[in-house]
Structure 1
Amino acid sequence: MKYIQRFFVCFLCLQCLSFTGLAQDTPPFFSEIEAFKKQDIVNRPPNNAILFVGSSSFRMWTNVQEYFPGYSIINRGFGGSSLPDAIRYASDIIIPYKPRQVVVYCGENDFTADGVNAEIVFNRFTTLFEIIRKDLPKAHILFVSIKPSPSRLKYLPEMVKANAMIKHYLNDNRKTGYVDVYSKMLLADGTPMPDIFKADKLHINEAGYAIWQKAIKPHLKK
């Protein structure tokens, strides 16, 4: 009986260790991506739509379809993601939809990690770009510039550099576009407009999204 009890205890310990290992190995935002997949099974998005993908600025734009009537929009913004996250999940939430256009807002959160500068963000973006271009050669790729958040003023010089590098890169590639929202969100003195951001000074409110809508719409593909 004692041997059975010991065996049972050992078995439970191994199970706990196994589950702990799985939890530690689970990549960031895994549950959100799985939720997208389950949602797609229930209501499959159409092919040849416009895919918005990136970080929380897109994730929180829950009524984005209302801003662009006449266009078929799929919103796959997730968490507080950075470019490595978009790269990790490209085969899950970009490629399968076969969109005619991919609109990317990502890279801002990257700067909050130690040692990340404009060149690193640029290289991460080009990696994502190449993945999309390889698997979706006909898709138009549109990058929305990194925005000037009041809570991240210390990163703005590097963000400006990254925006410029990405814009130049896209100019040298076919079926691409660049949306400058950065300059449209500044006051005359060059500081971010305070009234277009929420209380956290990071995420934009309806007034901010109105600026984005006006800047993005001319670039969308019918």
Structure 2
Amino acid sequence: MKKIMRAVCLFMAFAAALFCAACGGGDYGTLTIADIENLEVGKTAAIEPVFSKEEFTEEITYSFTGDAIAIEDGTVTALEGGATVRVTATTEHHETTFKVTTAEEKVYGTFTVEDVIGLPAGSSADLQIEFTPAGTEEKISYQYSGSDIIIGDGRVTAINPNKTVEVTAKTEHYQTTFTVTTVSSVLAVHDVTAWVGYPASELPASSFGADEAYEWSGENDAIAVFDAEKRTVTAVAPGSFTLRAESSEHIEIYNITVKAVVKSGNKWDMSVNEVGIPLATSFSEQATEQVTQKWNSNGGNEETTLFIGDSFFDQRHFWTDFDTVYAGKNAICSGLSSSTTYDWEQLAKTHLKGLSPKNIVMHIGTNNFYDDGDSVEDATDGLQRLFTVLHAELPDTKIYYFAITQRTDTKYSAQVRETNDAMQEWCDARGWIEFLDTENSFSANDLRDGVHPTLEAYSAFTEALQRAGIEISDK
């Protein structure tokens, strides 16, 4: 009987175990899902469920409240920034929760790239890129068709002339478009100044080939009248504009500036010094003696070389052995101490008018700085105006212009250097005037008073003239 009871008990225990298993009370393991943090709006992340017992892996459903995220096919997408969402994951035999936090949504402003217009073939330019607000900059990629341009490292290079290319610029969060237009390669860029009431200013000689056809554009007759045949601009009114000469392959650019000249103040008064004190002899009176009378008494003619300008070429006080240096030569020395470009601009229309020298040799400009206190712009304008007037009055005369000499007083040394550089470029672009660079030809020992050369040091001028190939005729 006991054996029967034991068997019955074992049977009942086994049956109970089977009943419990059938009722779901077995060990299915656990389901865990890691939190997903700082998911950016618009970005997705895979949900990674882990079943501790792989044999009990089951289909999962997800539930949550709100619209900050979306879950589909095992991935979560952030729809709103700055949210924390608790998600419940449920299977037939498991349940767990995990958190999804979305990153604060970054504020993206605007992204622009300026058009690049008129980029010469063979040249490059920096792209003008702007992200707003600051701090939202991103890496940019560029898309465009063809091989007319190349973009890299924030620069665009024109390969072929006369093309228009539309470019799309993309970043992770931005997109914009801009245009690049290319033009013929630039042969030269010149700055040309003309003055109201003055003779026409010449454009530098063309760099186009002898047989290269080109057309002009950009004229503005309200500011200056352009004569394409003579290559001159005659000032009408203050202002500026750009002339372009363009062939199928090349372009030349002329930046035209027209200025008004106000002739007032001590610097324009030839009867007073820089502070308004009357001169014992006005520059006009001195010019009558030193220019007109010398020209007449020495038989000045179309073969004469005339030295004029400031005290460097004043035979009375500084270059006293001029007649010895140029003995037997048809040369006259007529410089006026303390004179400036303002004085000689006026004398060119009075005392030089009607003369016909073969050459004019000139040193002028130092007193524009050290007496009149000119700026570089004023001095450069004064020199260019003077030579424009001289050439208009004496069109057949070759002009040799010596650079402004540096003094031992360095107050204006930087301005002198800058003016000389500008004048060398200006003179080199014109066939009727030659710039002689003697700016630093004199040591302190060569200057008798820190300003003027000793007689022995004047050889720097005469030798420079020889190197330039000047022809000084015999008497």
Q: Which TM-score applies when normalising by structure 2? A: 0.37
Q: CA contact under 8 A between 1:51 and 1:94: conserved in structure 2? A: no
The corresponding residue for 1:53 is 308
Residue pair 2:310, 2:363 contacting (<8 A) in 1 also: yes
Aligned with 2:368: secondary structure? helix
- State yes or no: 1:30 paired with 2:30: no
**For residue 342 of structure 2, what is the aligned residue in structure 1?**
84
* Pairing 1:1-222 to 2, within 5 Å after superposition: 28-36=282-290, 37-59=292-314, 60-68=318-326, 71-113=329-371, 115-150=373-408, 152-185=409-442, 193-198=443-448, 200-219=449-468, 220-222=470-472
- Which has the higher mean CA deviation after the structures are superposed, 52-61 or 94-103? 94-103
Q: 1:67 to 1:24 in 2, by over 3 A?
A: closer
DSSP-derived class of the 1:104 partner: strand
Q: Tell me the amino acid that sits aligned with residue 147 of structure 1.
A: T
Greater relative CO (CA pairs within 8 A, separation 6+): 1
**Bigger strand fraction:** 2
Deviates more, 1:110-119 or 1:169-178: 110-119
**Compared CA separation, residues 65 and 216, structure 1 to 2 (3 A):** farther
Q: Which runs of 5+ in 2 are unaligned?
A: 1-276
Q: Aligned in 2, Cα 1:94/1:217: closer, same or farther, shift over 3 Å? A: farther
Instruction: State the SS of the aligned residue for 1:102.
Output: strand
Unpaired segments of 5 or more residues in structure 1?
1-22, 186-192
SS at match of 1:164: helix
How does the TM-score come out when normalised to structure 1? 0.76
Tell me, yes or no, if the aligned pair for 1:53 and 1:94 is still in contact at 8 Å.
Answer: no
CA displacement at 1:42 relative to structure 2: 4.4
Structure with the bigger percentage of helix = 1
Partners of 1:81 and 1:114 lie apart in 2 by 10
Cα RMSD after superposing both structures: 2.5
The alignment partner of 1:96 has SS state of coil
**Per-residue deviation, 1:162:** 0.6
CA change 1:54–1:27 in 2 (3 A) is: same
Q: Secondary structure at the match of 1:209?
A: helix
Query: What is the distance in 2 between the residues matched to 1:87 and 1:34?
Result: 15
Contact 1:143 1:178 in 2 (8 A): yes
Distance apart, 1:207 and its partner CA: 2.6
Q: Return the offset for 1:147.
A: 0.5
| SS of match in other structure, 2:286 | helix
Structure 2 partner of 1:11: none
Tell me the percent identity.
19
